Amino acid sequence: MGCKCCKKNKNSEELTDVERAIEIVINNFHCYAVKGRKEGLTPGELKDLVGQRLPHLAKGAVCLDEKIECLGDADEAKLQFGEYWDIMGDAAKGCRGQKK
Amino acid sequence: MHGSKGGQVMITDPSELEWAIQTLVKNYDRYSSRGGCCGCCCCCKKQQRGISKGGFQKMLTHELNHMLTDTKNKQAANKLICDLDENHDGKISFDEYWTLIGGIASPISCLIRQQEENVKFTK
């Protein structure tokens, strides 16, 4: 996949870890939102993203796949950034659970 | 920087995106554990913890000072903090924290997309 997730901003060295983290999450969204209108991810694209980019966290958040399946038709539905962010939140909660 | 290339995933190292999510989680824990807590995870289990409003503002200025230089984003952040006023529990839970960061990220995401479109048109 010819994606440029790791491309660096001119001023990325000045960014804090949190800012860099947010940037990475955003870049991943745009990396995978390639079908049709690019402002949204299809559930299929999201599933690929979770499988390929979250190999460890996806294990912690058991119901991630089921949640994605509930989001609509794998190739038709378009998920906005907010919905993608919610799924990332579930993954984050999974990783908080693992830490205990 | 960790990263997975071309869909091949290193199983041992966390991916770049995983690093990012963990960083955001750690950041929440760092700001929510201030004030009486020793900072270890065990305290957080016993007590429902959250980031105080002041702590959240501190976090915004310390951790997000570059992203919030844009006036539009600053307004968005101010609005987020105002919205917190309506929620009278005084603490920001992890869910609320995540929603708030999402609120900051979303306009940035739109900007990036617009920039990418513009680049395409100029090529």
Domain range annotation of chain B: 52-123
* A100 occurs within a structural domain: no
How far apart, in whole angstroms, are the C-alpha atoms of residue A20 and residue B23? 9
Q: Which of B22, B99, B109 sits opposite A81 (nearest CB)?
A: B109
Nearest alpha-carbon partner for B67 in B103, B39, B34: B103
How far apart, in whole angstroms, are the C-alpha atoms of residue A69 and residue A33? 17
Q: Which residues pair with B8 in a beta bridge?
A: B5
At A17, the pLDDT band (50, 70, 90 cuts) reads very high
* A35 occurs within a structural domain: yes
Q: Which residues pair with B91 in a beta bridge?
A: B52
pLDDT given for residue B71 in this prediction: 58
Q: How many CB pairs under 8 A join A and B?
A: 124
* A6 occurs within a structural domain: no
Q: What is the CATH number of the domain that holds A30?
A: 1.10.238.10
* A12 occurs within a structural domain: no
* CA-based nearest distance B105→chain A, Å: 7
The complex's ipTM works out to 0.83
DSSP designation for A8: P
DSSP designation for A17: H
Range of the domain at A30: 17-93
* A40 occurs within a structural domain: yes
Per-residue pLDDT of chain B (123 residues; tens, 9 = 90+): 444 444 454 456 889 999 999 999 999 999 986 544 444 444 444 455 788 877 887 888 888 887 776 656 667 767 776 776 555 666 788 888 898 889 889 988 888 888 877 887 776
* A85 occurs within a structural domain: yes
How far apart, in whole angstroms, are the C-alpha atoms of residue B28 and residue A93? 12
Q: Are B15 and A17 in contact (CB under 8 A)?
A: no
* A10 occurs within a structural domain: no
Say how far residue A7 (Cα) sits from the centre of its chain.
17
CATH code given to domain B52-123: 1.10.238.10
Tally the domains of chain A: 1
Q: Which of A22, A52, A81 sits opposite B101 (nearest CB)?
A: A22
